[in-house]
Protein backbone atom coordinates (compact mmCIF):
# COMPACT_ATOMS: atom_id res chain seq x y z
CA UNK A 1 0.00 0.00 0.00
CA UNK A 2 2.86 2.36 0.74
CA UNK A 3 4.28 2.05 -2.76
CA UNK A 4 0.88 2.54 -4.33
CA UNK A 5 0.47 5.70 -2.30
CA UNK A 6 3.38 7.25 -4.13
CA UNK A 7 2.69 6.19 -7.69
CA UNK A 8 2.71 9.34 -9.75
CA UNK A 9 0.43 7.85 -12.34
CA UNK A 10 -2.62 6.91 -10.29
CA UNK A 11 -5.79 8.87 -10.83
CA UNK A 12 -5.66 10.28 -7.31
CA UNK A 13 -2.00 11.23 -7.61
CA UNK A 14 -2.62 12.92 -10.93
CA UNK A 15 -5.58 14.84 -9.49
CA UNK A 16 -3.56 16.04 -6.51
CA UNK A 17 -0.64 16.94 -8.71
CA UNK A 18 -2.76 18.86 -11.17
CA UNK A 19 -4.41 20.73 -8.31
CA UNK A 20 -0.94 21.69 -7.09
CA UNK A 21 -0.01 22.90 -10.54
CA UNK A 22 -3.18 24.94 -10.73
CA UNK A 23 -2.33 26.63 -7.46
CA UNK A 24 1.16 27.50 -8.65
CA UNK A 25 0.27 27.99 -12.30
CA UNK A 26 0.82 31.73 -12.16
CA UNK A 27 4.48 31.35 -11.20
CA UNK A 28 6.73 33.55 -13.31
CA UNK A 29 9.20 32.13 -15.80
CA UNK A 30 12.24 32.67 -13.58
CA UNK A 31 10.51 30.98 -10.65
CA UNK A 32 9.72 27.98 -12.83
CA UNK A 33 13.33 27.86 -13.98
CA UNK A 34 14.51 28.05 -10.35
CA UNK A 35 12.40 25.00 -9.55
CA UNK A 36 14.45 23.12 -12.15
CA UNK A 37 17.68 23.70 -10.22
CA UNK A 38 19.11 21.48 -7.50
CA UNK A 39 22.15 23.26 -6.10
CA UNK A 40 25.11 22.66 -3.82
CA UNK A 41 26.46 25.17 -1.33
CA UNK A 42 29.08 25.77 1.38
CA UNK A 43 27.44 25.95 4.79
CA UNK A 44 27.02 23.80 7.87
CA UNK A 45 24.62 26.30 9.44
CA UNK A 46 22.15 28.73 7.91
CA UNK A 47 22.34 32.49 8.36
CA UNK A 48 20.66 35.34 6.51
CA UNK A 49 24.05 36.18 5.00
CA UNK A 50 24.40 32.73 3.43
CA UNK A 51 24.15 32.60 -0.35
CA UNK A 52 21.99 29.49 -0.03
CA UNK A 53 19.59 31.50 2.16
CA UNK A 54 19.07 33.88 -0.77
CA UNK A 55 18.86 31.03 -3.28
CA UNK A 56 16.15 29.23 -1.32
CA UNK A 57 14.12 32.12 0.11
CA UNK A 58 14.32 34.67 -2.69
CA UNK A 59 15.22 32.77 -5.87
CA UNK A 60 13.02 29.82 -4.83
CA UNK A 61 15.28 27.01 -6.05
CA UNK A 62 13.65 23.62 -6.21
CA UNK A 63 16.25 21.64 -4.32
CA UNK A 64 19.65 21.33 -2.69
CA UNK A 65 22.33 18.64 -2.46
CA UNK A 66 24.45 17.93 0.61
CA UNK A 67 28.11 16.87 0.61
CA UNK A 68 30.60 15.86 3.26
CA UNK A 69 33.64 17.11 1.34
CA UNK A 70 34.44 20.38 -0.42
CA UNK A 71 36.37 19.52 -3.58
CA UNK A 72 37.59 23.03 -4.53
CA UNK A 73 39.22 23.63 -1.13
CA UNK A 74 40.10 19.96 -0.60
CA UNK A 75 38.68 20.04 2.93
CA UNK A 76 36.07 17.90 4.72
CA UNK A 77 34.09 21.01 5.67
CA UNK A 78 31.03 21.38 3.49
CA UNK A 79 27.55 20.55 4.85
CA UNK A 80 27.90 17.57 7.19
CA UNK A 81 29.40 17.48 10.69
CA UNK A 82 26.98 15.53 12.88
CA UNK A 83 23.42 14.16 12.85
CA UNK A 84 22.11 17.03 14.99
CA UNK A 85 23.82 19.65 12.83
CA UNK A 86 22.48 18.19 9.57
CA UNK A 87 18.97 17.89 10.95
CA UNK A 88 18.97 21.56 12.02
CA UNK A 89 20.45 22.75 8.72
CA UNK A 90 17.78 20.91 6.73
CA UNK A 91 14.96 22.10 9.00
CA UNK A 92 16.16 25.70 8.77
CA UNK A 93 16.27 25.52 4.98
CA UNK A 94 12.78 24.03 4.78
CA UNK A 95 11.50 26.75 7.10
CA UNK A 96 12.59 29.58 4.80
CA UNK A 97 11.60 27.84 1.57
CA UNK A 98 8.45 29.31 -0.05
CA UNK A 99 7.45 25.77 -1.04
CA UNK A 100 8.68 22.28 -0.28
CA UNK A 101 12.38 21.82 -0.95
CA UNK A 102 13.97 18.69 -2.37
CA UNK A 103 16.84 17.90 0.00
CA UNK A 104 19.14 15.37 -1.61
CA UNK A 105 22.26 13.34 -0.95
CA UNK A 106 24.34 10.57 -2.52
CA UNK A 107 23.97 7.88 0.13
CA UNK A 108 24.52 4.61 -1.71
CA UNK A 109 26.59 3.03 1.05
CA UNK A 110 30.11 1.66 0.98
CA UNK A 111 32.51 3.99 -0.82
CA UNK A 112 29.78 6.44 -1.89
CA UNK A 113 28.77 7.43 1.58
CA UNK A 114 28.30 11.05 2.69
CA UNK A 115 26.99 10.13 6.16
CA UNK A 116 30.14 8.59 7.56
CA UNK A 117 30.70 6.91 10.92
CA UNK A 118 33.23 9.65 11.72
CA UNK A 119 30.27 12.07 11.82
CA UNK A 120 28.25 9.79 14.10
CA UNK A 121 26.23 7.88 11.51
CA UNK A 122 25.82 4.08 11.37
CA UNK A 123 28.11 1.99 9.14
CA UNK A 124 26.93 1.14 5.63
CA UNK A 125 27.80 -1.47 3.03
CA UNK A 126 28.27 -1.30 -0.72
CA UNK A 127 25.92 -2.46 -3.46
CA UNK A 128 28.55 -5.02 -4.47
CA UNK A 129 28.52 -6.46 -0.94
CA UNK A 130 24.74 -6.82 -1.04
CA UNK A 131 24.67 -8.26 -4.55
CA UNK A 132 27.42 -10.76 -3.80
CA UNK A 133 25.71 -11.88 -0.59
CA UNK A 134 22.41 -11.97 -2.51
CA UNK A 135 20.24 -12.13 0.57
CA UNK A 136 17.05 -10.12 0.13
CA UNK A 137 16.59 -9.70 3.90
CA UNK A 138 20.08 -8.19 4.25
CA UNK A 139 19.47 -5.82 1.35
CA UNK A 140 16.16 -4.79 2.92
CA UNK A 141 17.86 -4.26 6.30
CA UNK A 142 20.52 -1.89 4.99
CA UNK A 143 18.11 -0.09 2.67
CA UNK A 144 15.70 0.43 5.58
CA UNK A 145 18.53 1.61 7.83
CA UNK A 146 19.68 4.15 5.24
CA UNK A 147 16.16 5.39 4.58
CA UNK A 148 15.47 5.67 8.30
CA UNK A 149 18.56 7.79 8.87
CA UNK A 150 17.63 10.07 5.97
CA UNK A 151 14.05 10.45 7.19
CA UNK A 152 15.30 11.36 10.64
CA UNK A 153 17.46 14.11 9.16
CA UNK A 154 14.71 15.51 6.93
CA UNK A 155 16.49 14.43 3.73
CA UNK A 156 13.80 13.42 1.24
CA UNK A 157 15.76 12.41 -1.87
CA UNK A 158 18.51 9.82 -2.15
CA UNK A 159 20.50 9.54 -5.38
CA UNK A 160 20.45 5.77 -5.13
CA UNK A 161 20.30 2.96 -5.96
CA UNK A 162 23.00 2.78 -8.57
CA UNK A 163 21.58 0.40 -11.17
CA UNK A 164 24.61 0.32 -13.44
CA UNK A 165 25.42 -3.24 -14.48
CA UNK A 166 28.93 -4.40 -13.54
CA UNK A 167 29.94 -5.06 -17.15
CA UNK A 168 33.50 -3.84 -16.58
CA UNK A 169 34.77 -4.63 -13.07
CA UNK A 170 37.78 -2.38 -13.77
CA UNK A 171 35.54 0.63 -14.35
CA UNK A 172 37.16 3.30 -12.13
CA UNK A 173 33.94 4.96 -10.96
CA UNK A 174 31.44 2.05 -10.87
CA UNK A 175 33.14 -1.35 -10.65
CA UNK A 176 36.17 -0.25 -8.64
CA UNK A 177 33.95 1.75 -6.28
CA UNK A 178 31.77 -1.35 -5.67
CA UNK A 179 28.65 0.59 -6.69
CA UNK A 180 27.02 -2.12 -8.82
CA UNK A 181 24.98 -4.95 -7.34
CA UNK A 182 25.92 -7.42 -10.07
CA UNK A 183 26.99 -8.16 -13.62
CA UNK A 184 23.54 -9.72 -14.06
CA UNK A 185 20.98 -7.02 -14.88
CA UNK A 186 18.16 -9.08 -13.36
CA UNK A 187 20.04 -9.27 -10.06
CA UNK A 188 20.64 -5.53 -10.21
CA UNK A 189 16.92 -4.98 -10.70
CA UNK A 190 15.99 -7.32 -7.84
CA UNK A 191 18.15 -5.61 -5.23
CA UNK A 192 17.41 -2.13 -6.56
CA UNK A 193 13.69 -2.85 -6.26
CA UNK A 194 14.10 -3.74 -2.59
CA UNK A 195 16.08 -0.56 -2.03
CA UNK A 196 13.39 1.58 -3.66
CA UNK A 197 10.59 -0.12 -1.72
CA UNK A 198 12.26 0.44 1.65
CA UNK A 199 12.87 4.10 0.86
CA UNK A 200 9.31 4.60 -0.37
CA UNK A 201 7.94 3.20 2.90
CA UNK A 202 9.70 6.05 4.68
CA UNK A 203 8.66 8.73 2.20
CA UNK A 204 12.14 9.02 0.68
CA UNK A 205 12.42 9.48 -3.09
CA UNK A 206 14.82 7.00 -4.68
CA UNK A 207 16.65 7.95 -7.85
CA UNK A 208 18.06 5.09 -9.94
CA UNK A 209 21.17 6.06 -11.91
CA UNK A 210 23.04 6.48 -14.32
CA UNK A 211 20.86 6.22 -17.45
CA UNK A 212 21.39 4.61 -19.95
CA UNK A 213 24.21 2.79 -18.13
CA UNK A 214 27.72 3.63 -16.93
CA UNK A 215 28.87 0.15 -15.94
CA UNK A 216 30.73 -0.71 -19.15
CA UNK A 217 32.86 2.43 -19.38
CA UNK A 218 36.62 2.50 -19.14
CA UNK A 219 36.70 6.08 -17.88
CA UNK A 220 35.18 8.25 -15.16
CA UNK A 221 32.81 11.02 -16.30
CA UNK A 222 33.93 13.11 -13.31
CA UNK A 223 37.33 13.44 -14.99
CA UNK A 224 36.30 13.76 -18.65
CA UNK A 225 34.60 12.01 -21.53
CA UNK A 226 33.63 8.35 -21.13
CA UNK A 227 32.93 6.68 -24.48
CA UNK A 228 30.89 3.47 -24.22
CA UNK A 229 30.21 3.12 -27.95
CA UNK A 230 31.99 -0.24 -28.17
CA UNK A 231 31.12 -1.59 -24.74
CA UNK A 232 27.48 -0.65 -23.98
CA UNK A 233 24.61 -3.03 -24.70
CA UNK A 234 20.84 -2.90 -24.32
CA UNK A 235 21.18 -5.26 -21.34
CA UNK A 236 22.10 -2.17 -19.34
CA UNK A 237 18.53 -0.92 -19.81
CA UNK A 238 17.04 -4.01 -18.13
CA UNK A 239 17.17 -2.67 -14.54
CA UNK A 240 15.25 0.42 -15.66
CA UNK A 241 12.70 -1.71 -17.51
CA UNK A 242 12.12 -3.89 -14.45
CA UNK A 243 11.85 -0.97 -12.05
CA UNK A 244 9.46 0.86 -14.34
CA UNK A 245 7.30 -2.26 -14.53
CA UNK A 246 6.75 -1.95 -10.76
CA UNK A 247 5.39 1.57 -11.18
CA UNK A 248 7.41 2.75 -8.18
CA UNK A 249 9.95 4.96 -9.96
CA UNK A 250 9.33 8.68 -10.21
CA UNK A 251 12.86 10.03 -10.75
CA UNK A 252 15.84 8.87 -12.85
CA UNK A 253 19.33 10.37 -13.12
CA UNK A 254 21.19 10.64 -16.41
CA UNK A 255 24.76 9.66 -17.16
CA UNK A 256 27.26 11.79 -19.05
CA UNK A 257 28.52 8.79 -21.05
CA UNK A 258 28.92 9.14 -24.81
CA UNK A 259 27.62 6.43 -27.12
CA UNK A 260 27.90 7.14 -30.84
CA UNK A 261 25.52 4.28 -31.61
CA UNK A 262 22.77 6.09 -29.69
CA UNK A 263 23.78 9.70 -30.41
CA UNK A 264 26.76 10.63 -32.55
CA UNK A 265 26.89 14.20 -31.25
CA UNK A 266 26.16 14.45 -27.52
CA UNK A 267 26.57 12.57 -24.23
CA UNK A 268 23.42 11.11 -22.72
CA UNK A 269 22.61 14.08 -20.47
CA UNK A 270 22.45 16.33 -23.54
CA UNK A 271 20.89 13.80 -25.92
CA UNK A 272 17.26 14.06 -26.98
CA UNK A 273 17.65 10.75 -28.81
CA UNK A 274 18.56 9.01 -25.56
CA UNK A 275 16.39 10.81 -22.99
CA UNK A 276 13.27 11.56 -24.99
CA UNK A 277 13.70 8.80 -27.57
CA UNK A 278 14.72 5.86 -25.38
CA UNK A 279 13.82 6.72 -21.78
CA UNK A 280 10.51 8.45 -22.47
CA UNK A 281 9.58 6.91 -25.82
CA UNK A 282 10.90 3.35 -25.73
CA UNK A 283 10.66 2.73 -21.98
CA UNK A 284 7.60 4.94 -21.38
CA UNK A 285 8.98 6.92 -18.43
CA UNK A 286 6.90 10.00 -17.67
CA UNK A 287 8.47 10.97 -14.35
CA UNK A 288 11.21 13.47 -13.59
CA UNK A 289 14.60 13.24 -15.28
CA UNK A 290 17.49 14.79 -13.37
CA UNK A 291 20.94 15.34 -14.80
CA UNK A 292 24.06 14.03 -13.19
CA UNK A 293 26.19 16.88 -11.86
CA UNK A 294 26.91 19.40 -14.60
CA UNK A 295 30.19 20.31 -12.89
CA UNK A 296 31.66 16.96 -13.92
CA UNK A 297 34.41 16.91 -16.51
CA UNK A 298 32.44 15.07 -19.19
CA UNK A 299 30.22 18.15 -19.45
CA UNK A 300 32.05 21.11 -17.89
CA UNK A 301 35.35 20.48 -19.70
CA UNK A 302 33.79 19.96 -23.11
CA UNK A 303 30.80 22.30 -23.33
CA UNK A 304 30.13 25.91 -22.29
CA UNK A 305 27.51 25.98 -19.54
CA UNK A 306 25.03 27.79 -21.79
CA UNK A 307 25.26 25.02 -24.40
CA UNK A 308 25.02 22.28 -21.78
CA UNK A 309 21.91 23.86 -20.26
CA UNK A 310 20.21 24.38 -23.63
CA UNK A 311 20.89 20.86 -24.88
CA UNK A 312 20.07 19.14 -21.58
CA UNK A 313 16.72 20.88 -21.17
CA UNK A 314 15.75 20.32 -24.79
CA UNK A 315 16.86 16.69 -24.46
CA UNK A 316 14.31 16.18 -21.70
CA UNK A 317 16.11 16.95 -18.43
CA UNK A 318 13.69 18.39 -15.86
CA UNK A 319 16.06 19.06 -12.95
CA UNK A 320 19.62 20.27 -13.42
CA UNK A 321 22.07 19.13 -10.75
CA UNK A 322 24.56 21.93 -10.05
CA UNK A 323 26.75 20.77 -7.17
CA UNK A 324 29.15 23.73 -7.30
CA UNK A 325 31.58 21.14 -5.98
CA UNK A 326 33.87 20.76 -8.97
CA UNK A 327 37.38 22.11 -9.35
CA UNK A 328 36.27 25.72 -8.77
CA UNK A 329 33.58 27.12 -6.48
CA UNK A 330 31.44 29.68 -8.34
CA UNK A 331 29.73 32.42 -6.33
CA UNK A 332 26.27 33.45 -7.54
CA UNK A 333 26.01 30.24 -9.57
CA UNK A 334 22.26 29.89 -9.00
CA UNK A 335 21.40 33.42 -10.08
CA UNK A 336 23.69 33.17 -13.11
CA UNK A 337 22.15 29.84 -14.16
CA UNK A 338 18.60 31.17 -13.87
CA UNK A 339 19.57 34.21 -15.93
CA UNK A 340 21.24 32.04 -18.56
CA UNK A 341 18.22 29.77 -18.98
CA UNK A 342 15.88 32.78 -18.99
CA UNK A 343 17.95 34.31 -21.83
CA UNK A 344 17.79 31.01 -23.74
CA UNK A 345 13.99 31.12 -23.50
CA UNK A 346 13.87 34.76 -24.55
CA UNK A 347 16.04 33.99 -27.57
CA UNK A 348 13.81 31.09 -28.63
CA UNK A 349 16.43 28.37 -28.07
CA UNK A 350 14.23 26.86 -25.36
CA UNK A 351 10.45 27.23 -25.50
CA UNK A 352 8.33 28.36 -22.55
CA UNK A 353 6.30 25.19 -23.07
CA UNK A 354 9.39 23.08 -22.43
CA UNK A 355 9.96 24.90 -19.10
CA UNK A 356 6.29 24.43 -18.19
CA UNK A 357 6.55 20.70 -18.91
CA UNK A 358 9.41 20.28 -16.44
CA UNK A 359 7.77 22.55 -13.89
CA UNK A 360 4.60 20.44 -13.93
CA UNK A 361 6.55 17.21 -13.49
CA UNK A 362 8.52 18.64 -10.56
CA UNK A 363 5.40 19.91 -8.80
CA UNK A 364 3.74 16.54 -9.35
CA UNK A 365 6.72 14.80 -7.75
CA UNK A 366 6.67 17.15 -4.77
CA UNK A 367 2.93 16.75 -4.30
CA UNK A 368 3.32 12.97 -4.20
CA UNK A 369 6.18 12.78 -1.71
CA UNK A 370 6.71 16.00 0.24
Q: Residue 143 half-sphere exposure, CB side, CA atoms within 13 Å?
A: 30
Q: Are 212 and 274 in contact (CB under 8 A)?
A: yes
Catalytic residue among 6, 214, 222, 256: 222
Per-residue H/E/C for the chain: CHHHHCCCCCHHHHHHHHHHHHHCCCCCHHHHHHHCEEECCCCCCCCCCCHHHHHHHCCCCCEEEECCCECCCCECCCCCCCHHHHHHHHHHHHHHCCCCCEEEECEEECCEECCCHHHCCCCCCCHHHHHHHCCHHHHHHHHHHHHHHHHHHCCCEECCCECCCCCCCCCCCCCCCCCCCCCCHHHHHHHHHHHHHHHHHCCCEECCECECCCCCCCCCCCCCCCECCCCCCHHHHHHHHHHHHHCCCCEEEECCCECCCCCCCCCHHHCHHHHHHHHHHHCCCCCEEECCCCCCHHHHCCCCHHHHHHHHHHHCCCEEEECCCCCCCCCCHHHHHHHHHHHHHHCCCCCHHHHHHHHHHHHHHHHHHC
Q: Catalytic one among 220, 292, 293, 318?
A: 292
**Active site annotation includes 222:** yes
For the question of residue 55 being annotated catalytic, the response is no
Active-site residue numbers? Answer: 222, 292
Amino acid sequence: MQIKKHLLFTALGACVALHGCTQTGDAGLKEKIAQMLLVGFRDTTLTENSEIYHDVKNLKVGGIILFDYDVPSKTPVRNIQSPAQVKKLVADLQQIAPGKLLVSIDQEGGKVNRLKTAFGFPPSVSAKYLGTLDNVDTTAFYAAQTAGVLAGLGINLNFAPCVDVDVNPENPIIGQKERSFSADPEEVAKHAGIWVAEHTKRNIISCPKHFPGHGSSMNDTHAGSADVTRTWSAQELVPYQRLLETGAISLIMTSHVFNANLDADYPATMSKKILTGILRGQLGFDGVIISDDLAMGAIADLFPLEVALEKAINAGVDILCLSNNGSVYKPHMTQNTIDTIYALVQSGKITPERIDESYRRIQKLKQAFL
